[in-house]
């Protein structure tokens, strides 16, 4: 899932730059487009592997970043 989140962030950043988004509304549109890219990549991966990317088995109750802080 971490990799998937990074794809969405990278896609959003590139779209924001390409569209030269300024302000909240333009940034929101770029974020939605980036999310669409990440969502399509997730669905494609699930289709090709036959496995779900997000499942009850790999769901974390507490984010890794918080777990690392406690250790």
Q: What's residue 62's pLDDT?
A: 73
Residue 23 has pLDDT above 70, yes or no: yes
So where are the chain's domains? Answer: 2-70
Q: What's residue 67's pLDDT?
A: 60
pTM of the model: 0.68
The 10s digit of each residue's pLDDT in 26-65 is 999 999 999 999 999 999 999 999 998 888 887 777 766 6
Burial group, residue 62, by CB count within 10 angstroms (0-12, 13-18, 19+): exposed
Long-range contacts for 15-23 (Cβ within 8 Å, ≥24 apart)?
A: none
């Amino acid at each position: 899932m971490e990799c998937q989140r990074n794809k969405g962030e990278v896609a959003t950043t590139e779209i924001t730059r390409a569209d030269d988004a300024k302000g909240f509304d333009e940034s929101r549109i770029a974020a939605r487009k980036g999310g669409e890219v990440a969502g399509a990549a997730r669905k494609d991966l699930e289709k090709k592997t036959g496995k779900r990317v997000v499942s009850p088995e790999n769901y974390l109750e507490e984010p890794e970043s918080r777990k690392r802080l406690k250790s």
